[in-house]
A and B are shown apart, each in its own frame.
Chain A
Amino acid sequence: MKPPAAFLLLVLAVSCAQQATTGEDAHVTTVGSIEITARLVDVPGEFVNRPMYDYAFVMKYQVLAVHRGEVPGDTIYIGHYNPLKARERAADARVPEVGGNLRKFRVGDVHRMALEIPIDEHYMGGIINRYFGQEDTGPIYWAVCTNRAELRD
């Protein structure tokens, strides 16, 4: 006996809504050594739009919840690979491990992320860090998986 199509649609809708709310999925919960939910509080300037050149771009986050690992302090700085690309299309030969469902970085949005630290031990490529000399960033984190999320009351 087949379930009614309306029921399937309802299940799918609830599933998607839940995923969009928490950002939790099988990928973000298993990769990286740190997992957090954080709000993107600053993108320092425009991303570099040169398709021939890959880079990681450092952004500022306010940590809202730590799900795995340890994160000292409320503010951390995270490098995202080729931030103009949707996360599901960001991986390449140099960085095969990057992923997630986030499509666009917008200040104020909340992300659930799997991270590594420091970035240099997990990524070997160009890094644009516009906080250098401006703010004490501490070690820069490396975003392995970035999902969109929303805050729950």
Chain B
Amino acid sequence: MKSIRVALTTAVALQLLYTVGVCAQPDPRVAGLAREVAGKGWIIYGARGDNGTWDLFVSRPDGSRRRNITNTPEFEEAAPRLSPDSTKLLYRRMAKGAVIDHDKWGFQGRLVLADANGANPVVVGDEGEYPWASWSTEGGRVVCLTKKGIQVVDLDTRQVVGEFKRQGIYQQLFWSPDGQWFCGVANHQGQSWTVVRVSAETGALNAVRQYQNCTPDWHPDSGHIILSSRPSGQPGASGYGYTQLWLVSGDGTDQGLVYGEDGSHVYGGAFSPDGRYVLFTKGPRDGSGAEKDGAPMGVMRAADAPTITGASADLRKEHPDTKDSPVLMLEKGWEPYWTYADIGAAE
């Protein structure tokens, strides 16, 4: 009897060792994905530099050729975005030691404009001015989110040249590439954390996805929005659940999981300019790690959605159609952005 127990125990142990060994093997598909994206432009993002403060970095989408392009130990800098013509960069600069708040960063610090490679930074406005500034579809303008409404500001004259009703939007406002729509996080029908779409022509508003959604961003086709969502009913984290990446049509009718992993919160979803790849951050704590050091960034093919990584038993029950495709994980960052402009070439 004893020998049977020993044999069984040994068999189980060997199986475990095998499983761990298999799982520990690098997925060759990830290396393939890395090779595939290595030459496809650059990603730009905020991360902690060697000087201990947040700086702006560029790297190839496979993580190679990483370079600190601001290197300002006297400031905290984050949330870079390239202008539609890829010639200018905007970001926010905060006082050294300021803690970036994952939900208030658009109110924090001062707006900075620079060349696409981070050179020649110019501070625009005072602390907290130009809240949630993001690029207008027309060059030389930014769109800001204020209590008074959505304001389009000409960067040469600093004058408000266009206004739209805010309609409950309170953070993370972005104008669609075709100029037809805004998306943002809003109060809608008594609920907060609803991602909405607003027509820039008529002001008509529709909910894109309700209940615990944020960090929306446009697909290059202007017809879809990628966002972070923490659906209700998840048993994980004592019922708190985990934040997943979703792609939703602008009218809200078509909703699908892009990527998720139980035990991790996925934020900062962004597409490559051709819409073929998805960039995001994934961390164990809610809030994308902005308050500390960010979270590891990830890259996957858009065509591989939905993809789930890790054991993720709960998530797999909800999404049995997962393709379990490769996800390339990179260094820590926050609010990454992907461009095909050659902003990182000049080293």
Question: Real complex partners, A and B?
Answer: yes
The answer for the CA separation of A31 and B190 in the assembled complex, in Å, is 27
Q: How far is the CB of A29 from chain B (nearest CB, A)?
A: 24
Closest to A121 in B: B147
Interface bits A79-119 vs B (CB < 8 Å: 1, else 0): 00000000000001110000000000000000000000000
From residue B158, how far is it (CB to closest CB) to chain A in Å?
21
Among the listed B104, B168, B192, which residue makes an inter-chain contact with A55, where contact means beta carbons less than 8 Å apart? B192
Interface hub of A94, A124, A129 (most chain B Cβ within 10 A): A124
Query: Which residues of A110-140 are within 8 A (CB) of B?
Result: 120-133
| Complexed CA–CA distance, A113 and B42 (Å) | 53
The answer to whether B104 and A129 touch across the interface, beta carbons within 8 angstroms, is no
Q: Given the complex of chains A and B, what is the CA–CA distance between A17 and B187 in angstroms?
A: 40
Does B148 touch A at the CB level, under 8 Å? yes
Whether the Cβ atoms of B189 and A126 lie closer than 8 Å is no
Q: Please indicate the chain B residues that have their CB under 8 angstroms from the CB of A132 in the complex.
A: 189-191
Q: Which of B102, B104, B147, B192 contacts A128 (CB 8 A)?
A: B192
The answer for the CA separation of A123 and B170 in the assembled complex, in Å, is 9
Residue A54 lies at the interface, judged by CB distance under 8 Å to chain B: yes
Q: Would you call B146 and A124 a contact (CB within 8 A)?
A: yes
> Is A7 an interface residue when CB atoms closer than 8 A count as contact?
no
Task: Report whether B104 and A93 are in contact in the complex, using a CB–CB cutoff of 8 Å.
Answer: yes
Residues of A within 8 A of B154 (CB): none
What number of A-B contacts does a CB cutoff of 8 Å give? 51
Q: Is the CB of B168 within 8 A of A93?
A: no
**In the complex, A129→B192 CA distance in Å?**
9
Cα(A132)–Cα(B189), bound, Å: 6
Tell me whether A128 and B190 are in contact in the complex, defined as CB-CB below 8 angstroms, given that A54-B103, A93-B101, A93-B107 are known contacts: yes
Chain A residues with a Cβ under 8 A of chain B? 52-55, 92-94, 120-133
A124-B170, A130-B190 given; 18 more Cβ-contact pairs under 8 Å: A52-B102, A52-B103, A52-B286, A53-B103, A54-B104, A55-B192, A93-B107, A93-B108, A120-B147, A120-B168, A123-B147, A124-B146, A125-B192, A126-B193, A127-B187, A128-B190, A128-B191, A133-B190
Task: For the complex of A and B, list the 5 residue pairs with the smallest distance between their C-beta atoms, beginning with the closest.
Answer: A132-B190, A126-B192, A129-B190, A127-B187, A124-B170
